[in-house]
Structure 1
Amino acid sequence: MMAGARTPPRLATLILLTAVSVLTLNMFLPSLQNMALEFDVDYALVSLSVGGYLVVTAVLQLILGPLSDRFGRRPVLLAGLAVFAVASLGCLLAGNIWVFLGFRLLQSAVIAGAALSRAVVRDMVPAQEAAAMLGHIGMVMALAPMLGPSFGGLLDQLFGWRASFVVFTLLGIGLFVLTWTDLGETNKTPSATFGAQFRTYPELIRSRRFWGYSLCSAFSVGAFYSFLGGAALVAGIEFDLSPAEVGIGIGSITGGFAVGNFISGRIAKRHSLAMLMIFGRISACAGLVVGLLLVLNDVVTVWTYFGCVVFVGLGNGLTLPAAAAGSMSVRPELAGSASGLSGALMVAGGAVLTSLTSALISPENGAWLLLAIMLASAAAGLWAALYVHRIDLREGVPA
């Protein structure tokens, strides 16, 4: 039997844990229409595999974060990966939409990889270094959601939609083995009891900085989730793209995300967390304003449309590492709970915006309305970043 790890993980392990958590959300998106045809159900019902999945991941993060503060990051991660591998196999073998949706919701246990990897980083290094390290992680792991929809679309064309879930099953097994052998426990001061842990929560919940960081994250990612909710329709109606080409379009936003994370990793130690968030929000808003103006002036091409969306990814790459590091630094001993609550807000907001976007856009209004919804979310993130900066000016930048 393989010996369990006792030392902190390598960077590559944290990258893979985070990447697969994101990959599971978007790799099979180009296949939704074909899945609806095979199961003989409406597209809206199959879309619950996205919206419902997001809701469950939001709830799970509220549970997994505190569990990792109490019992450690390692056992909670291993349990989540085991459930994910079994659930992926269930999706692969599902004979009807209800069985598929049931196992799809169980797949959400993989969110432990993203939520607890952030906490592991904060366990290992201080806030500014955590922002830089999260930037480096984000830069590399962004390749997964960028290439994922393209890969999923190609798998669908070659082998059918179930091929994506073969890949998920193998990834779940591989990540479990990797975590067992490489990720030792980093939470060196776990809570003695849940009672003792809960008594420290009010300081976290009452922190204006925590809510500023968390809301900035939620609105920043909300623009991305809005894009996921409407990109397939817009790409199909406006540009008549194939499933594989739709996947490339959906993946374009993460190209900017990789660049933003690269920049964040290089400059995080020289700027306050609030300023990094502001830089990111201005980038996202500027790109969307330009894109919306072009659409309203009947300039609608694949390059201009998806080109402006790249700036949302760039802005998120600058914003999210700083916001995550900041939210976990309010009470470092509750890094898991902070990561879980902040992550839950991101996913819950994403679920709302995905559903809202899907409900509101149509072939007639999709091109401009999708960008408008994304801009509203990005602007709300800018407001939250400015709020944190205002607190810093009044109370000083925390160490």
Structure 2
Amino acid sequence: MSRAQPPIAVLVALSAVGPLALNMFVPSMPGLAATFAADYGTVQLTLSLYLIGLAVSQLAYGPLSDRFGRRPLMLAGIGLFLVGTLIALLAQSIGMLIVGRLVQAIGGCAGLVLSRAAVRDLFDRERSASVIATITMVMVVAPMVAPLIGGYLDQWFGWRANFWLVGAFAVVVLGFAVPLLHETNHYRQPLPGLSGMIGSYAILLRSPVYRAHIALIGFASGAFFAFLGAAPFVVIDLMGHPPSDYGRWFALGAAGYMAGNFASSRLAVRVGLCRLIQAGMGFMAAGAALMLTLALAGQMTLLALFGPMAMIAIGNGLVLPSGNAGALSVDRRRAGAASGLSGFMQMGLGAGISTLAGHLVVDSALPLAAIMAVSVAISLLAFHALRRANRQARELAARTRPALPKAA
């Protein structure tokens, strides 16, 4: 008898909760410096510690879900997200707001990481890349409109309105998830304990293919997180635009990301993961080079900022689904741990890169463009390392494959 599977729409909604809260809040960040009488570096902790919370908690969610299942961890996560939203909503100081954002991140992380693991439970490598791309393509609609909505909410009702909206969305998602989120992990692994968790991660990191995948994912998305950390300051403080303008133009990059994911969902099975990653890296390199050239020429306009970002976002949409599917396919028995570790590297690097960009951008967009270009360049090196590791793995498999007996 076939087991019930969760609807893809439920996995999409669960994975969208964390990114929605991340992106809707960003246009409010420059204004919080005046609200709480804090410097922008302190305010930016609401973003960087959110990313760190996403990063660190993924290390625990993966192995725990391998042992206890995906469903209970995702339901507990969204409950914790609601607690963090309430703390942030009631915050009277920047410190309490940062605490609320951190709790939000730890809870919202569950759906983000475990929805990918659930897909890998249900489908093979190529098909999972296609489904992950479909989930990401639909999921990206929320982050695409989130800065626009967040900008207008901040402008009309103040920054707390963002938390009212994301809290209401999380309640609706929880209402659908309780009856419809069926378990996908039917082959439970023993709970490894701290030493066992470290051992699982060590096994994964001994694989050159896995190492190359997570470096590729981390630095490819690092360009986006650099933009997220510094672009609001550039647009609102340096250019003098209102938060709603940032939200409107951010939709251009999000649309590019959605286009890349749409192409991935249609082409992953037909053309293979490596060719999709190669195409995506081409878009990212072109976008980063264009943004750096315009910044060096002193062109600090909305089109000069968001146009190249859209090209980078198309590349991200092609690279990340295939990179994630490849990383999760290295060891299917440790799919949860592999998803958690790759997510940790992605969000951890993102937190560091966004914080660096936020501190270096003072009076022009040039430091932002340079950081994004360096991140893309490192991801290109990781892609070449991945191709070499895949080639060596195929050669090793060919040498160790037993010879077929000769016909009599």
TM-score by length of 1: 0.93
Shift, 1:135, TM fit: 1.0
Which residue among 365, 386, 396 is the counterpart of 2:394? 396
2:355 is matched with which residue? 355
1:65 maps onto 2:65 in alignment: no
Q: Deviations over 1:323-368 (max 9, x none)?
A: 11011111112111110100000010001101111111111xx322
| Greater Rg by CA | 2
Summarize the alignment of residues 165-204 of structure 1 with structure 2, pairs less than 5 Å apart: 165-194=163-192, 198=197, 201-204=201-204
Shift, 1:201, TM fit: 4.8
Gaps spanning 5+ residues in structure 1: where?
1-5
Separation of aligned partners in 1, 2:67 and 2:377: 36
Shift, 1:200, TM fit: 5.1
Shift, 1:237, TM fit: 4.9
Shift, 1:197, TM fit: 6.0
Q: Deviations over 1:197-248 (max 9, x none)?
A: 6565543221111111111110011000000111012213553211110122
**Equivalent pair of 1:228/1:250 in contact (CA under 8 Å):** no
Report the CA distance shift for 1:242/1:193 in structure 2 as closer, same or farther (over 3 A). Answer: closer
Identity within the alignment, %: 38
Letter in 2 for 1:194: P
1:130 maps onto 2:128 in alignment: yes
1:214 is matched with which residue? 214
1:341 is matched with which residue? 341
**Equivalent pair of 2:220/2:316 in contact (CA under 8 Å):** yes
1:260 is matched with which residue? 260
CA-based RMSD of the aligned residues comes to 1.9
Shift, 1:291, TM fit: 2.4
Shift, 1:295, TM fit: 2.9
Letter in 2 for 1:127: R
Summarize the alignment of residues 81-120 of structure 1 with structure 2, pairs less than 5 Å apart: 81-108=78-105, 109-120=107-118
Q: Deviations over 1:115-142 (max 9, x none)?
A: 0010011001001001111111111111
Summarize the alignment of residues 31-50 of structure 1 with structure 2, pairs less than 5 Å apart: 31-50=28-47
Shift, 1:55, TM fit: 1.2
Which residue among 6, 11, 21 is the counterpart of 1:14? 11
Q: Deviations over 1:250-270 (max 9, x none)?
A: 343211100000011111012
Separation of aligned partners in 1, 2:94 and 2:383: 41
Report the CA distance shift for 1:33/1:237 in structure 2 as closer, same or farther (over 3 A). Answer: closer
Q: Deviations over 1:58-105 (max 9, x none)?
A: 110001111101110001111110010121012111222222221221
2:147 is matched with which residue? 149
Separation of aligned partners in 2, 1:239 and 1:48: 23
Summarize the alignment of residues 278-289 of structure 1 with structure 2, pairs less than 5 Å apart: 278-289=278-289
Separation of aligned partners in 2, 1:299 and 1:99: 38
Letter in 2 for 1:387: A
1:3 is matched with which residue? none
1:323 is matched with which residue? 323
Summarize the alignment of residues 246-325 of structure 1 with structure 2, pairs less than 5 Å apart: 246-325=246-325
**Equivalent pair of 1:282/1:382 in contact (CA under 8 Å):** no
**Equivalent pair of 1:217/1:346 in contact (CA under 8 Å):** yes
Separation of aligned partners in 1, 2:386 and 2:86: 44
Separation of aligned partners in 2, 1:301 and 1:101: 31
Report the secondary structure of 1:40's partner residue: coil
- The number of aligned residues is 391
**Equivalent pair of 2:65/2:336 in contact (CA under 8 Å):** yes
**Equivalent pair of 2:88/2:97 in contact (CA under 8 Å):** yes
Report the secondary structure of 1:326's partner residue: helix
2:365 is matched with which residue? 367
Separation of aligned partners in 2, 1:79 and 1:294: 46
**Equivalent pair of 2:200/2:337 in contact (CA under 8 Å):** no
Report the CA distance shift for 1:193/1:298 in structure 2 as closer, same or farther (over 3 A). Answer: closer
Separation of aligned partners in 2, 1:211 and 1:66: 18
Letter in 1 for 2:210: F
Separation of aligned partners in 2, 1:78 and 1:197: 25
TM-score by length of 2: 0.91
Report the secondary structure of 1:214's partner residue: helix
Report the secondary structure of 2:365's partner residue: helix
Separation of aligned partners in 1, 2:30 and 2:370: 25
Separation of aligned partners in 2, 1:305 and 1:32: 19
1:242 is matched with which residue? 242
Report the secondary structure of 1:396's partner residue: helix
Report the secondary structure of 1:121's partner residue: helix
**Equivalent pair of 2:63/2:191 in contact (CA under 8 Å):** no
Report the secondary structure of 1:358's partner residue: helix
